[in-house]
Structure 1
Amino acid sequence: MNKGMKKKLCIKNGLIKTMAGQEFKGDILIDGAKIAALGESLAGDVPEDTEIIDAEGCLVLPGMIDAHCHVGIGEEIYRWEGEDFNEMTDPVTPDMRAIDGINPEDEGFRDARLGGVTAVFTVPGSANVVGGTGVAMKTAGNIVDQMVVRDPAGLKVAFGENPKMVYGEQKKMPMTRMGTAALLRQTLVDAQTYKDKLEQGKTDSDKLPERDLGLEVLVKVINREIPLRAHAHRADDIMTAIRIAREFEVDLVIEHCTEGHKIAEELAKQGYPAVVGPLLTNRAKVELKDKSFKTPGILAEAGVKVAIMTDHSVTPIEQLPLCAALAWKAGMDKEDALRAVTIHPAEILGVADRLGSLEVGKDADIVIWSDHPFTITAEPLYVIINGKLVKPEAKEETVN
């Protein structure tokens, strides 16, 4: 093959589950970074120089997606040196960008891709009422800008214990849940005012406001270009997030949603998706009192679009399949549980045109499993990201 030519790869004889409504034994042809074709037999469509992977007896799925984690921005093996997810100096920091704190060499990325997790949403922490923007990205690469799928993919806001604990100790607002809601409302009002001034400045330059990076992000929220990603565990905090989202007519994703099962019908009626977890952890604080693996299934059955997350490093990111399996064990429909780590995260993140299912034209992020990933002995035998094999890992060349 000539240098610079796109490499072709064909997965043959696997049980292909597309997560787009099809399941069949057949083949997938990969051309460069994209899926070029798939079907029961592609024998006549596979060029002679194509690399073949025989997936006989295996299940072929789209790569899994962790819809909420801190991989890269809260680095493993480090203490303060690699903790870059909370700028705890101001409760309102919309101008913080997760992408500026991500280290692609964080061990979590390798754990993710070797475990079959090919994309993530890395987001700032929940110390601040407004924490900054998160990024949807691949788990393979050594330059973060080249790993990005969508940036920004949402603005992190937080309710409940964390903001009031951080700033209450500093004797500043917010010390209460009321203070958290008030700060977020005022921030959104400021964004509306800034947007109005920008519109006025189009016809009268004297009215153009001084540039404000934080308000620029918030205008994207007001314009419904990106959603608020609302950290909320307790049912009352979830409803406060919804109340504010409806008041300002902005899009919203409920993050954690620990007590979502208590208000499942209302959440379904409101129509906001939920990213549930971490569930494979202890009750580290009061608002996790009613944590349950039953929550994702109850929400899905009520009609809520559900994704399951690890909140890595709270739960190690490679355990995402196990988290979904345990939700299934607790009563979630098996297909709903699989959707919760594939197509639903892609839809919630606004990247379903590229990720989450196996379809022609989508990114070739594919995992070949020895068995269904909810089986305790299942192993991702081959992991492909952007059309390239990342598992088995290539042997490193020795530099003389």
Structure 2
Amino acid sequence: MSSTAPALSGTAGDGAPHYHRRPHPGPCSPAERNRALTAPVFGTVFTDHMARARWRAGTGWDERRVEAYAPLALDPAAAVLHYGQEIFEGLKAYAREDGSVWAFRPELNAARFAASARRLALPELPEADFLASIQALVAADAAWVPGAPGTSLYLRPFMFAAEAFLGVRSARVVDYLVIASPAGAYFPSGFEPVSIWVADGQHRAGPGGTGGAKCGGNYAASLLPQQQAAANGCAQVCFLDAATNTLLEEIGSMNLLVVTCDGTVHTPGLSGTILDGVTRRSVLDLCREQGRPVTERPLPLAEVLDGLRSGQVAEIFACGTAAVITPIGRLAGSGFDLTVGAGRPGPVAQVLHEELTGIQRGTRPDTRGWMYRLV
């Protein structure tokens, strides 16, 4: 059974943290909001409210509230501006025809947020607090959840070192916020194959680093290779491992999967340099339930290129919260430029996309209890 929503006040059940809603002095008019929801573009328009809380060493979490979305006031010495001590998450809220709003496996986002906090020496936010914050924000901004096919309300929880201090140590004052943005498809082309550029010699993360955490530094390291991918006519960049520069790891902000002609689904194992994606985990769960063999292992670029040339590799696709499932139609890099399959979405990617999006939108049964009701 799916999880059931608690009260709509932002209280996530008996004894759970409460996010007090402050009156908004000037929310968007219905006409303004409807214009923003007509054709939402990922991450460009934001809802009326944001949720927030503060942690202080010695006292813990307090000041939980939902208030008007507004710029933040930061001291120029705020530690995050100098040492990058911050983390974030990404998940979506989906509207149903009955007016309810649901999230997809948010407890996994809460667990990953806590794991990222540990790696960045930030305080862990309890799961109940995480769920209460997104529930309170969605309750305040339920009218902002778009209902058109392919749309959702993207939720961005994040935490950063707010203490004004230039010493190199973990911060003693930390702010946590959640903002929300109505979103359409991440890629303008929708569920169509994209081209991927394999970065050579530029890496997202290294062994013992922060690759397994969802922190801004990992993404900052990807921006120059992303520009190089665009210069080569590609929509995204795939990174190789830093230790040997031979193993496929992540595609931009997504996980990578390869399907061989025998139906086996291969994906790089979680070695500490790859993010433990919620969509990745869900895709692998579905594959196993559907009887598809799954291997999580080091995935050499040379093996994949040989498989594309021989026909042994039938499909390559990426998965992540923003785009869900993204077929890959072209894999290019220094010295190679190969078409994947026939340049069209493969059958495994199609089946997984239909199943996942159907569960998320409530058009297919949620037999696994993956959906969590927010409103």
Q: By percentage of residues, which structure has more strand?
A: 2
Is TM > 0.5 for Structure 1 vs Structure 2? no
> Which TM-score tier does this pair reach, normalised by the shorter chain?
under 0.3
The TM-score normalised by the length of structure 1 is 0.24
Over alpha carbons, which structure has the higher Rg?
1
TM-score, with length taken from structure 2: 0.25
